[in-house]
Structure 1
């Protein structure tokens, strides 16, 4: 893709590579390469490195890098390739832009510097039992009592809540209007009395998501973002930003390359897997789809550089829809390569048959969690059905 970039953009890319080489701790990079989890402290250190020149995508006046969409794209590509891809909650990527776009000066001064410096971990309180893809059906209530809101209800699938200092929540503040018109956007301290976290064990054995319960949780009115009952507008803005970054081109490229590398170590059916026609055709089909979504993302980046009104590009839904499907295909490819050796009882035993998969046990076992977690890709950030509805309305005019 170098031919797509101008000289100053290639220079910028080289500067980003140098920044990562000089500042990301070796152990952090090693853990990311091996697919191991980082501690909250390690992520905080890494995020301060990534924010050294300002938060990508943010305006300079709020601690952002002030980069163009193309520079931001290059930065994210290099971070994924290094790898140094990590997130300190959803402060920089999701709630930060909502605060500096719609929040009060008090909120901007209080929260934005701490997000820039990776001091506050934020989680997202949107989904509820019975209100996931149909997000407007949330039932968590917030009733004003003097200078506080009293919040009661439940959120679920809350990523990183066990680490979080703050949660940004959609709450229902009016029940007598159309459901989208009675929602507000609140910022809630996770240490507030009445707030309880319950971890949820996922199929891959991890505890990434949680249930969060609110029982008479008192939240200062000054923590209301924007206007009461306008939360649906702010949520659509936030989700538009989230979907634009959900194509997952970089991680999927890495996953496909890893599958190729492992296939070169697998002797199956009388030949190396990497040389078998069926396997090569399967890889090629995924790579063609990935190249198409990468070109689509570059088009969206170019269009974003010309958008002046700050509105959301419906191409984000195209990127989310296809990117999540390709991510799942790449994860399945990796599982196909590893086969039964992704299971603990297989990967811990030597292979003595004619068919040999000469992969390290640790490397084999990582394939299964990657595959299982990828099943959620077509659901989170808005399910594929929701993305198709958005595309039908906004792009096809149906």
Structure 2
């Protein structure tokens, strides 16, 4: 009854709104209220191979959004949300989690700078937290992601890009004694040439350094405390055809593990690297997309993996308010360790969203997740169904 009352109240508030934000300060600053109510059914909450735990849950998200720079060269956006998750039966999985997202940009005629930051409190397992998955527990972690990227036009045709990104996972609670915190620092550099007004091509190089701390001592000795990656290749981006937009990168990546007692993970390795994003407007109502990736990865226990994946999907605008989405992805994760672990990950999703105006969004989604692994403890599948009502005012 409380849930129905809350949804009714949100609907009533939405229908009484006008086009203005909740608060406007001066000519540049707008403040918005953000709220969401979700109902979810999860068939395998902890990603267990057997004796799976399923339950219904309700998620209440409350927060605000700040938008600055309506008519300015400098623009910024900050969102804060507090997520309150309550399970129907498995009360031990209840959580209060915060998240913060911020973006900023500054644009001049010859150069521009983009920056972003996010902080997310997470209470969820992954395919590399196998011990927690098998025990039926959830892993608590804090995830930080921050970056800055600058673009400078040397001439009308040539321009360069230079960036920096920091990504960090910090494990909390009892599982912090087993899993290692991770900090990854990346420096991408690109020199690009405008082939046409809508297409650019050039060379790209990225240096990536990954450092581990804490966790199980055996993992530290076995895999080492750090690793470095060097990636170089060719980048093509822009509108390749009248209805085809693309961001393509193909090259070579070299990984130096820098330590570790396991011979299978302590030797340097190189392989083909790929990042491709394609979007095609089939009709006015149907949009198609495809993504392909290949790169090295790192797990919660410092594992090294080579991940190769692809995703295809479509969006269909049934009406101006109603949109259907479907996608399918496949990823092969080949772990560079003595047990020869290999995962084949399949994800299928269908969704429907209804957006009657700029304030309200109602969505329903179904997702199927299957992690087919030759390591029995890491194999699992999951069905996830959710219904969400979101309000931004």
Q: TM (normalized to structure 2)?
A: 0.26
Task: Choose between structure 1 and 2: higher strand proportion.
Answer: 2
Task: Choose between structure 1 and 2: higher helix proportion.
Answer: 1
Q: TM (normalized to structure 1)?
A: 0.26
